[in-house]
Each structure stands twice: as C-alpha cells, then as structure tokens.
Amino acid sequence: MPEYEKLRPLSNIKWRTVFWAVILAYFVNNVLWPKIVISGLRYTIKNVRPGECHKVKGLVNCEDVVIDRSSGIAILSCDSNRRQWNPVMGIVPKGGIQKSGELYAYDVNEPSHKPQRLSTPDFVREFHPLGLSLYTLPDKTTLLYAINLANVGFSIEIFSVHLHNATLKHERTISHPLITTPNSITVVNDSTFYVTNDHGFPSGFLHALETYLGLPLSNVVYYSDGQASVVATGLVHANGITLDHEKKRMYVSESLAGRVSVYRVDRSGSLEHDSSVDVGFVTDNLDLDPATGDVTIAGHPKPLALVAFAKWGAGPSGSIVKRIKERSINDGKVAKDDQNNWDVQTVFEDDGNFHPASSTGAFVKRKDGTTRMIMTSLYGEDALTDCSTDNL
C-alpha cells in the first residue's frame, strides 16, 4: 500500500479535530464567555456615588421614571404586586392578580415632600404599569403614555396629567397585534411612538428558554395613527428605549447582551443600526438628558441575584448606573469610521444594601441650578433614591 494512503485517515482525523476545535473556540468566545461576563459571576461590586444620596420614603417596586424637566416633576410607575405578577420575568400566576399598580409624582425641587400618588378616577380596569413616556401638546397639556401589563391583555394607556389635583384623566387605550410583549416606550408625537417587545415568545417554556439562552428574538415596533411595523429585529431582550432631542437617533437597551444599540431614524420612522455600546451588565431603562445628550443606563450587575430577589425575596440584588457620551470626531482622538467612539462612565454602584435592583436612572437640573440624579428600584421598599452630583 502506498505510504500516502496510510496517512490519509490520520489526515482526516486532523481536519475533524481542527474543525471541532474551531467550533468550540467560536462557542466559548462568542456564546459562553459573553454569558459568563453578563452573569456578573466574576464581577466585584464597588461602592460608587455621584454625591450624597438619600432614600425617598413611601414607594415600593418602582420600574420606570420620566421627568417633565420644565417643572422638575418626575412620574414613577410602581407596583407593590410585582413579586406576584411580573410577565417580563415569567411570574404569571393563573388568574392574574386583582390589585393594580400605582403611579406617583415626585418633585425633584422639593425633596422633603413625599411622593404623591396620582389617582385615575375614570380608569378602573386592571393596571400594572411598566414603561413610561411623556409628551407635551401645543396647548401645554402633558400626556403620559404607560405600558400596562394587565392579565386581560397588554396595552398602552394614555392619560392627560393634572398635577394640581393629582389626577390622571384617561384619554385612550392602544393595542396592536405587533405589540406583544411591550416593555418600554418613547413618544414622537401624540399619535406616534416606538415600543420595545422584550421577548419573541410571550409566555411559557419558550419564553423562559429565550431568557436564559439570551436568544435574539425581541424587536422594536413603530406605531403611528393606528398602523404599526417592526423596525428593528434580532435584539437580545430589548428593554429601555429613548429618542434624542432632535428625533434623529434612537437608543435601545439590549438587556441580556449588556449593550445599548444606537440607530439612525429616517423620516419614515424606520431605523438603521449605527453602532453598539457595550456596558458590561444587564441593562434596564434608558434616559436621555436633553441638556447634554448623555444617555443614562441603569441595570443589574448580578442578574442571578436579581432573579432570586424577585422570586423569593433573597437578597440583596445590586445596582449599577452608567452614562454614555459620544466623542466628537473633531477632537482629534477618534476616527470617522470608528463605530465605538463612546465614553462610558460609572456614576452609581451599590451591592443592594442601600439601593437594590436599579431599573432607571436620570439626571435633572433643579430650579436652584444644581443637578440631581434620581434612581428607581425594580424591587424593594423606599424604591427611589435622590443623589447630588457633587462628585462628578
């Protein structure tokens, strides 16, 4: 037998070995290692503060906060039933839960005042608010858009805000077949908005599988005058969403990828991916500071601790807040074709003993000229923290 024929089987073995080694290396580098990083197993939580912080008493389990920056009034979505009802995390007991969640107003200019619950006298249906967005009409009427994760069906509820008597007047309900697992919303005008669907599968085993495998099945939906279309796909748990002041750039939090994806917005409302910013933790909601253009990202450095905290009350669950700012291409430090020209700054970090499970962070300038940062806790009592920014 010729010598080269004797070597052929060995050669095949070598090629198979190389092939599977490449597959294994790809899996470890692109699938397993990112999951280890985002799990926070190797991360040590530090103690970082933007300045002196104090807890605001009286709020429980507050997911989102939006701010009317002309008045300094923040509106918060809270739900004292979140441990019993949280469809995002797959906590959905049969029959739902009867008691509804709550909306509160907090005056950043008067931190000594207690948050005021906003009543909804003409809205008596089941209400579990999640993501929020504000829009001001030309006549100065402020509209609040609230995602409602009710057992009877998910929807967007629109209220006009009347702070003089602490009420919200229900204006209308919006639902659409494409809005299946709504999480966060950002409004363009009174009849147009973007909303994230955080899962491709709305419930059950496949919903849980999608979560724990970090499958890229979520999306962003554009809604305008009764019509809707999917404008971004392939996202890994799309969560917070916010539009820049000029309405030309969109930011979307991909929770289980630990990043913020940035899109260009065209006149038709469609989105074109521009860049991604890795922040290294499970991201939650976003807030854009119109004064600086910075985007604030709150989230969870230890997501497995968050699951234990949410489902069984085992704690604490840590918190982290960062903000991102794009570097100017004119400062001589970056190249025009570089898609990762972002400065990432940690502004708050805590092991959860002071402020657990951060879900939203936002900077706001008070009437006295000072800037504050406020944060919500997805789970926990006294679920709002108010900080100075003297250390930034």
One-character DSSP codes across 284-320: EEEEE-TTT--EEEEEES-HHHHHHHHHH------EE
Q: Does the structure show a pLDDT above 60 at 42?
A: yes
Q: How far apart are CA 249 and CA 298, in angstroms?
A: 20
How much is the average pLDDT of 276-288? 96
- Name the pLDDT band for 192 (thresholds 50, 70, 90): very high
**Contact yes or no for 301/318 (Cβ under 8 A):** yes
Q: Is the dihedral of CA 329, 333, 337, 341 positive or negative?
A: negative
CA-closest candidate to residue 73, choices 134, 131, 146? 134
Would you state the pLDDT for residue 338?
46
Q: Is the peptide bond before 93 cis (omega within 30 degrees of 0)?
A: no
Q: Does the structure show a pLDDT above 70 at 10?
A: no
Report helix, strand or coil for 245. coil
Question: 285 a known binding residue?
Answer: yes
Count of residues making up the chain: 392
- Name the pLDDT band for 381 (thresholds 50, 70, 90): very high
Q: Per the structure block, which two tokens stand in for 306?
A: 């968050």
**Contact yes or no for 305/317 (Cβ under 8 A):** yes
Question: 287 a known binding residue?
Answer: no
- Name the pLDDT band for 385 (thresholds 50, 70, 90): very high
- Radius of gyration of the chain measured on its C-alpha atoms: 23
Per the model's pLDDT, the better-predicted residue between 291 and 1 turns out to be: 291
Q: Is the dihedral of CA 40, 42, 46, 49 positive or negative?
A: negative
Q: How far apart are CA 294 and CA 108, in angstroms?
A: 19
Amino acid at 309: F
Percent of the chain with pLDDT strictly greater than 90: 79
Would you state the pLDDT for residue 266?
95
Q: Does the structure show a pLDDT above 50 at 335?
A: no
What is the DSSP track for 86-141? Answer: BGGGTB--TT--SS--EEEEEETT-TTSPPEEPB-TT--S---EEEEEEEE-TTS-
Per the model's pLDDT, the better-predicted residue between 305 and 97 turns out to be: 305
Q: How far apart are CA 25 and CA 28, in angstroms?
A: 5
Of the options 2.120.10.30, 2.60.40.10, 1.10.15.40, 3.30.420.40, the CATH number for the domain spanning 43-388: 2.120.10.30
Q: Does the structure show a pLDDT above 80 at 33?
A: no
Q: Does the structure show a pLDDT above 90 at 25?
A: no
Per the model's pLDDT, the better-predicted residue between 107 and 26 turns out to be: 107
Would you state the pLDDT for residue 67?
97
Q: What angle do CA 74, 117, 308 make, to 5 degrees?
A: 80
Q: What are phi and psi of 267, to 5 degrees?
A: -65, -25
How confident is the prediction for the chain on average, in pLDDT?
Answer: 90
Q: pLDDT by residue (tens digit) across 70-129?
A: 999 999 999 999 999 999 999 998 877 878 999 999 999 998 889 999 999 999 999 999
Question: 183 a known binding residue?
Answer: yes
Per the model's pLDDT, the better-predicted residue between 13 and 84 turns out to be: 84
**Contact yes or no for 61/378 (Cβ under 8 A):** yes
Question: 378 a known binding residue?
Answer: no
Q: Does the structure show a pLDDT above 80 at 150?
A: yes
Percent of the chain with pLDDT strictly greater than 70: 90
Per the model's pLDDT, the better-predicted residue between 29 and 384 turns out to be: 384
Task: For residue 392, count other CB atoms closer than 10 A to its CB.
Answer: 14
Q: Domain extents for the chain?
A: 43-388
